[in-house]
Amino acid sequence: MSKRIIGFALSAMLVALSFPSAAEPAKKIPRIGFLGGGSPSTHKVLLDAFRQGLPELGYIEGQTIAIEYRYAEGKAERLADLAAELVRLRLDVIVTVGTLATLAVKQASSTIPIVVGGAGDLVGAGLVASLAHPGGNITGSTNIDPDLSTKRLELLKESFPKLSRVAVLYRGGPGGGGGDDDELKETQAAARTLKIQVQPLAVKDPSQFSGAFAAMKKERAAALIIFHGSFTGFHRPQLVELAAKNRLPTMCGEPAWSDAGCLISYGPDRSHQGRRAAVFVDKILKGTKPADIPVEQPMKFDFVINLKTAKQIGVTIEPNVLVRANRVIK
């Protein structure tokens, strides 16, 4: 009988040891937020790279790290509420995409660390003190889009040497901006040097797209530049379709646009920015303050040409421009 009792007691102990104590608290895993002004498809390249970068740093989503996603679906007026919602969750870090999304989170919290996956002029927007010494609770990557405006216009001019008039389409109205004003000024300055007239067209609602393209046609714009942003990115299919319908050679801000049908795109490597965002998050979770992590500028740029679109709208790209492209879609 004593052997039976002892055996039963040992079995009970083994069973008990195989389960954590009810009183033992569950291990807390880091919780981060992701706020984009567009949609999952708008931010797909950067977001995929970010999620691929986390396992390389030892984080498994859903197991050792949790992520809360919020998207404004191209509606800047939703950003404030979405940012406040994320702040109420008391997250460890919030990753943002775009200047307006970053401003929304900054206004909602001055303490939760913010990692910018990609945005315009963070210094000019008052989000960081300087690139080398951000200060405050924000760090990450800048797209320096205004600095790229000259290059984009030059590539258009080299592709079409007789180009003399270009339309520029961007998000305007309340909640607009996000660096577009600076980008427009840079484009206009470059246009004066290249002897090109610029026709600015601000849109704040998709219902204005058709009117904007009608205005381009009326003023005989020979090409179009679409400023990249959450609003234009969210409506990318519609804008690319209208550009093709109006047979307008179009320059866009990142390769995803050319993949969708834009003739030419030139901009920062979003995949690299996504992976770097994962690195920034890792540093912060390990104790480094955002104020002490320098903001990074893009070092690699993608130049993509879509020859399918060129054929569709009946234009020919200069050979010396084609050979410089990182990728040509045939």
What CATH number is associated with residue 123?
3.40.50.2300
Taking 70 as the threshold, does the pLDDT of residue 175 lie above it?
no
Q: Within this chain, do residues 130 and 174 fall inside the same structural domain, yes or no? A: no
Q: Which residues have CB under 8 Å from 62's CB, separation 6+? A: none
Share of the chain above pLDDT 90, in %: 80
Note whether residue 10 is domain-resident.
no
**Residues 67-82 pLDDT 10s:** 999 999 999 999 999 9
Task: Give the model's pLDDT for residue 300.
Answer: 87
Residues 151 and 263 in one domain: yes
- State both tokens at 223: 């090409």
Tokens of 87: 């702040």
Q: Examine residue 199 and state whether it is found in any structural domain, yes or no.
A: yes
Residue 152, judged by CB atoms within 10 A of its CB (0-12, 13-18, 19+), counts as buried
Res 305 pLDDT > 50: yes
Q: How far apart are CA 74 and CA 138, in angstroms?
A: 23
Mean pLDDT, to the nearest integer, of 14-26?
Answer: 50
One domain, residues 42 and 124: yes
What pLDDT, on a 0 to 100 scale, did the predictor assign at position 235? 95
pLDDT digits (tens, 9 = 90+) for 203-231: 999 999 999 999 999 999 999 999 988 89
Question: Based on the domain organization, do 92 and 119 belong to the same domain?
Answer: yes
More confidently predicted of 298 and 10: 298
Residues 260-278: what's their mean pLDDT?
A: 95
* Chain segment 231-254, per-residue pLDDT in tens: 999 999 999 999 999 999 999 988
- Structural domain total, the chain: 2
Per the CB < 8 A criterion, the answer to whether 72 and 37 are in contact is: yes
Altogether, the residues listed in the chain come to a count of 330
The separation between CA 44 and the C-alpha centre of its own chain, rounded to angstroms, equals 9
Strand partners, 34: 69, 95
186-207 per-position pLDDT tens digit: 999 999 999 999 999 999 999 9
Q: Is the per-residue pLDDT at 304 higher than 90?
A: yes
- Domain co-membership, 88 together with 225: no
In a domain, 13, yes or no: no
Position 15 in a domain? no
196 and 313 together in one domain: yes
Query: Looking at the structure, do residues 275 and 259 belong to the same domain, yes or no?
Result: no
Q: Are residues 172 and 321 in the same domain?
A: yes
Query: What pLDDT is recorded for position 120?
Result: 86
Residue 25: per-residue pLDDT: 53
What tens digit of pLDDT does each residue of 134-158 get?
Answer: 999 999 999 875 678 899 999 999 9
Q: Which domain holds residue 103?
A: 31-144+269-299
